[in-house]
Amino acid sequence: MQLHTLTISEAHDLLKRKKITSVELTRAVVDRIEAVEPKVLAFLTRTFEDALEQANAADKAIAAGKITPLTGIPLGIKDLICTDGIRTTCGSHILEDFIPPFDAFVMRKLKAQNAVIAGKLNMDEFAMGSTNEHSAFQVTHNPWGLEHSPGGSSGGSAAAVAADMCLGALGSDTGGSVRQPASHCGVVGLKPTYGRVSRFGLVAFASSLDQIGPLSKTVTDSAILLQAIAGHDEADSTSVPNGVPNYSACLGRDLKGLRIGLPKEYFDIEGLDPQVASAVKKAIDTLSGLGAQTVEVTLPHTEYGVAAYYIIAPSEASSNLARYDGVKYGLRDKQKTELLEMYRGSRSQGFGPEVQRRILIGTYCLSAGYYDAYYGKASQIRTLIARDFEQAFQKCDVIAAPAAPTPATALGESLDDPLAMYLSDVFTLPANLAGIPGISVPCGFSDKGLPIGLQLLGGHFAEETLFKTAYQFEQATEFHKKRPPL
C-alpha cells in the first residue's frame, strides 16, 4: 500500500483501526514530496520537522482514544493563510520574509483536530492570476502535463493534491481560484458560501469576494475539510452565525426529484472549448440517469460579469494593498532616504507586474470623478447578477456548468495576454459576485489527457445539496480514481 495515495477518509479509517500511524503516513507524504516536488514545484515552504512532531502528537492522541476525521492527516496550506511562526509570502517579494505572529481562524480549527501541516503552497502573487505564473518565486507545473499550467491562483494547492503530495489542501477563491485549478488538476475544489468560513488571517485580495475553500481527492474529503473549517468567528464581521450542518451525512442521498438548471448563457458563450462542452454535457446526462431532471434557466447578466468583477476586485485590491508601504512590515527600499521615494521604491520592487496592473486599475476606478462611473456601476451589475441567481434557483436546486472554458493552457500562453487570462474566469466569478457556493468535480479529459471539471452552483448555504449531487456523480464515474503519470 502506498500511503501517500490515500484519501483523507481512507487514511482516517486506517488510523482509527491502528493499521497505520500518523508518523508513517507523514513520512510517506514527505518522501513523495521529495520525489516529485522538483517536477511540480508546488511548495514555497516545507515544514517537515514540524509535521513529524505534529504526527507524533496525533499518534499519542489516537492512542488515548481522541481522534477526529483530520487527526494525523497531512495537509497543505495556500501561502496567503497566516500560520503562526511559519513564513507566509502570498507569493510576493514584498512579504517574502513575513512570519505571522498568529494563526488564521482556519489554522486554529485544523490544529484543534491535530491535523498535520506539510507546508505552504505556491500561488499567483496576492491571488491575482489564473495560471500560477504570477508567483514571485516559481512556476508550478500541472502534474497531468508538466508543460501546462495548474490553474490559479490556488495552483500550488491543486497540484499538490493531484500529485499526492498531501491528502488535502486549503486554497482561496476570489473569482474561481479554487474551482478553476481543481478543474485543471483533476481534483475536487469547493468555494463555500461567502461568510461560511472565517476570513480572519486570510491575507486580503478583495474582501467582499475572498473565501477560503478546500481542495481534495474526493467529494467525501471535501465535506470533511469544510466541516472542520466552517463556523462563526467573532473576529470576522462577515462571518455568518449559522450552525454548521453534518456535511458527510448528506452524501448518500439519492438525486430523485433534484432539479438541475442549465444556463443557456454558459453553454452558448464564445470561447468554450468543444471538448469541455462535450464532457460537461455527458456529466449532465449522467446526473439525469441518476434521477435528476434538467430545466433551462437564464442568467441574463452573465455577459457583464467579467467586466464588473475586474472593476470591483482591483478596486478592493488597491485599497487592501495600500498597507504595504515599507514602514511597518514587509520589504523596504533601504536605498531611499525620502519617505515618498521609499514608498515608491518599496512597492515597485515588492509587487510584480500583474499586481501592479490591478492596483493601477483599481486606483483609477476609485479616483475622484470616476467612482460612480466605474465602481458604482459595477456594484449595480453585481446586484443584478445576484438577482439572476435568486430567480434561477426558484426553478432549480443546482446549476450545472463548466468550471473553465478550456482545459489547462500551456505555460507561457497567456503571459502576454492578460485579457485572455481574465476571460478564463467567466464561469466561476459570477458565484463570487453573488456570494453563492460552487464546487468543481472531475468529469472528463481532453485529447491531451488534461482534466476537465464540472461546476455545480447552489443557493446561499446550499453546500449540502452540492455535496450530495457531486458525490452521486463521483460514485457513478471513475474520473476521481485516475492519477497523473508522474
Per-residue model confidence as pLDDT tens digits over 63-75: 999 999 999 999 9
Angle between helices 274-289 and 463-476 (to 10 degrees): 100
How far is 62 from 70, CA to CA, in rounded Å?
11
β-strand 398-402 against 168-172: which pairing, if any? unpaired
Q: What are phi and psi of 130, to 5 degrees?
A: -125, 10
Q: Taking the C-alpha atoms of 10, 13, 17 and 18 in order, what is their torsion angle to the nearest 10 degrees?
A: 50
Catalytic residue IDs: 78, 153, 177
Strand intervals (E) in 232-334 = 259-263, 293-297
How far is 438 from 427, CA to CA, in rounded Å?
11
How far is 252 from 270, CA to CA, in rounded Å?
37
**Helix, coil or strand: residue 486:** coil
Greatest Cα pair distance, the chain, in angstroms, is 70
How far is 38 from 169, CA to CA, in rounded Å?
19
- Answer yes or no: are the C-beta atoms of 271 and 277 closer than 8 Å: no
Chain-centre distance of CA 187, in angstroms?
A: 11
How far is 447 from 369, CA to CA, in rounded Å?
50
CB atoms within 10 A of CB 471: 23
The full DSSP string for 14-54 is: HHHTTSS-HHHHHHHHHHHHHHHHHHH--EEEE-HHHHHHH
State the DSSP code for 433. Answer: H
β-strand 438-445 against 451-457: which pairing, if any? antiparallel
Nearest to 73 by CA among 62, 64, 89, 86: 62
For residue 143, what are the β-bridge partners? none
Alpha carbon distances (Å) from 337 to 114, 332, 333: 48, 11, 9
Looking at residue 98, its pLDDT comes to: 96
Looking at residue 270, its pLDDT comes to: 87
| Topology annotation, domain 3-254 | Amidase signature (AS) enzymes (3.90.1300)
How far is 140 from 181, CA to CA, in rounded Å?
11
Name, in order, each residue with C-beta under 8 angstroms of 112's C-beta and a sequence gap of 6 or more. none
Looking at residue 244, its pLDDT comes to: 97
Alpha carbon distances (Å) from 136 to 69, 162, 244, 352: 35, 23, 37, 7
Strands ordered across the beta sheet of 293-297: 43-46, 116-121, 74-78, 168-172, 212-216, 188-191, 438-445, 451-457, 398-402, 259-263, 293-297
- Answer yes or no: are the C-beta atoms of 115 and 8 closer than 8 Å: no
How far is 377 from 375, CA to CA, in rounded Å?
6
State the DSSP code for 351. Answer: S
CATH 3.90.1300.10 domain position(s) in the chain: 3-254
Looking at residue 147, its pLDDT comes to: 98
Looking at residue 415, its pLDDT comes to: 83
Alpha carbon distances (Å) from 224 to 23, 70, 189, 480: 21, 8, 13, 17
Chain-centre distance of CA 230, in angstroms?
A: 15
Counting runs of H as helices and runs of E as strands, what totals does the chain give? 16, 11
Looking at residue 423, its pLDDT comes to: 83
Looking at residue 92, its pLDDT comes to: 98
Strand intervals (E) in 153-292 = 168-172, 188-191, 212-216, 259-263
CB atoms within 10 A of CB 327: 12
Looking at residue 417, its pLDDT comes to: 81
Name, in order, each residue with C-beta under 8 angstroms of 195's C-beta and a sequence gap of 6 or more. 238, 239, 240, 435
Radius of gyration of the chain (CA): 21
Q: Is 257 exposed, middle or buried (0-12, 13-18, 19+ CB in 10 A)?
A: exposed
Which residues of the chain have a pLDDT value below 50? none
State the DSSP code for 408. Answer: P
